[in-house]
Chain A
Amino acid sequence: MARYQLQLLLSSQPEALAKLFLLIRQGRLSLLEANVKQEESGVFRAELLIDGRVEKINWLINKLMFYPYFKKIEPTPIEVS
């Protein structure tokens, strides 16, 4: 099991947020925290804390960039004590 913080830049469409949470569900990952903010330009900036099997987290990171809703993703592994 691993924990990651994901920082994402999403398109301004609400579909982008829905897709993000659907993918987390599809990957059977646990969402521990989510902060979403719309910037002045309209794009969404999201910061997530997720738990799950490392293969599934990698899958999510790669899968997100498969969809045009997602412009940028920065994953950071988090030490779990």
Chain B
Amino acid sequence: MKAVNQLVNKMEELGVDVIFGIPGGSTLPLYDALYDSNIRSILMRHEQQAAHAADGYARVRKKPGIVTATSGPGATNLITGIVNAAMDSVPIVALTGQVTRPFLGTDAFQEADIVGLVLPHTKYATTVLDPKRLAKEFVNAYYCASTGRPGPTLLDIPRDVMQEDIGNEFNDQISPDPEFCRKPGMPPESEFEKAASLISSANKVAILVGGGVHFSGATQEVLRLAELIGAPIVTTLPGKTCIPQDHPLAMGVVGMHGRLEADMAIINADLVICIGTRISDRAVGPHNEFQRNRKIIHIDIDASELGKNVTPSVRLNGDAKQVLAKLIDRLSTYSQPNNDPSWVEKLRELRRAYEEYLLSQSDESRVNSWRLVKLIREEIPRSAIVTTGVGQHQMWAQLFFEVLEPGTYITSAGLGTMGFGLPAAFGAKVAAPDRIVVNIDGDGSFQMTCQTLSNIAEYNYPVITVIFDNRSLGMVRQWQDLFYMKRFKDVDLTELTNFVKLAEAFGVEGVLAQSYEEVRKALRRAVRNDEAIVIDVPIDKNEKVFPMVPPGKWLAEYISPPGFEAHGKISTSIITK
């Protein structure tokens, strides 16, 4: 038996059903082995898109997405997707072809040191030199990607290793080595006691939810904790997918482009319970401000996150679901918490004031981005999966798209990878073909990976794309407007590109929609028929995303939308201690 056949057999055993990639000279043995397997290979148009598709697939299925590329440029094209997965803690396993062993290190044709290139951003990466270890290395890489805090792994496989005969006498019972599936234990009892005591004595507790809650499956535990202590729930951007926004305690995303009520919840809290988050500056602003005058309980599966950015009062290292279950149990022995119920009501009041303000500003003569986001929500099922690109449209979606079911919102949060939305949507649709998948994109972001439309048409995995088309790199333009005295440089995109024709060139229907009704009509039909469509919606390039906290500033220094000052004063008086 060839080593690569044993590898593919092992992949099947582990439940791998699809692999995203592009073949090349050094991966021909892998594709030849896949030919006779039950694993479906999907021929992408660029390796970056293959990695993002595997990422989208992994987030939906909560198991590793598999991606493959040939040696050299194929492998290097994966890098953005791999780093994206690392930043958002998504399990993907990359299999790259490599030049044959005798040519390693000779700068051979299409030789690149992909292991050296991805080593800082992977949980595990290695070049497999022993054919007899190939299947074992895959098992290790697969478990490593998905155990503990998830993340990407990579196996670099010389072509001759794949095709070497390993005989027929080998032990096929392969289990991962212990260091590839290290699971965290539970924190000591004393830490639970300290946490429970802090919670029961605090007056304004807020819960900050990160993406770790998604892979842990801890949404119900978070909601139970919040209900038990009456705490508002705010999320980071990766945490947005974890909390149904129609829950009465859900306040939305906090941070640079956070909801006012979410920012105010953190600003006014005397205790923040941070769950499955690295507490990035993008979410909480400067860490010294975040730590000032408030206590922090930090729950995370990755021990190195505890104390990395902030110094918590209590560190609970473990799986969020298990730790929360135990914490809730411990809290039940305490008397009624002190959390001030009027506080949450004030936060809700602030939300209403902000929505009223937005409605008062709405201009029927053109499409407003925030209303477009709300319209999309109205027209798609609760279970629909939404992905985004990166830019202003992503921030509008962050602010105004209401996640109703956990696990239905996929975005590139940590790395902020433009072009992520469409291939991630494709991967999500492959993972969940019976659900509606919508990619909310910007014109700049869309143009970075729009060839994925070809896959959508060819494999008949219909994805709906709505382009917030302001013919600019809107977020960069907004920064040039606000912080560089409107000296706009290289941010405006040509009007010449026709997205309707472009979509049609790939075999996907394109529609130009210039009013809410036109958008609604196109969207409704595509949802009803589960059809692929690109809906190009022109919006004003001068529209900005507000509120905005300037980079490096504390959440309280948010910039409100023009004309909101009066409302801002009201909101401050509503909420500030």
Contacts and interface: CB of A to CB of B under 8 A. Distances in A.
Given A26-B120, A66-B148, A66-B302, 20 more contacts: A13-B126, A15-B115, A15-B119, A15-B125, A15-B126, A15-B127, A18-B119, A22-B119, A22-B120, A59-B304, A59-B307, A59-B308, A60-B304, A62-B302, A67-B124, A68-B124, A68-B177, A68-B180, A70-B179, A71-B179
Chain A at the B interface: mostly helix, strand, loop or mixed?
Answer: helix
Interface in A5-42: 11, 13, 15, 18-19, 22, 26
B311 A55 contact: yes
B120 A69 contact: no
Nearest to B302: A66
Contacts of A2: none
A58 interface: yes
- Could you say which of A11, A15, A18, A68 has the most chain B C-beta atoms within 10 Å of its C-beta? A68
A60 B123 CA distance: 14
Contacts of B179: 11, 68-71
B415 interface: no
Interface of B: 115-116, 119-120, 123-127, 140, 144, 148-149, 177, 179-180, 182, 302-304, 306-308, 311
A62 B119 contact: no
A71 B177 CA distance: 11
- Could you say which of B120, B303, B304, B306 has the most chain A C-beta atoms within 10 Å of its C-beta? B304
B83 to A, nearest CB: 13
Contact of A65 (B119, B125, B182): B182
Contact of B304 (A15, A18, A62, A70): A62
A51 to B, nearest CB: 18
Interface of A: 11, 13, 15, 18-19, 22, 26, 55, 58-60, 62-63, 65-71
Contacts of B180: 68
Nearest to A54: B307
A15 B115 CA distance: 8
Contacts of A13: 126
A62 B303 contact: yes
B101 to A, nearest CB: 15
A68 B308 contact: no
B120 A67 contact: no
Contacts of B308: 55, 59
B120 A66 contact: no
Nearest to A25: B120
Nearest to A13: B126
A43 to B, nearest CB: 11
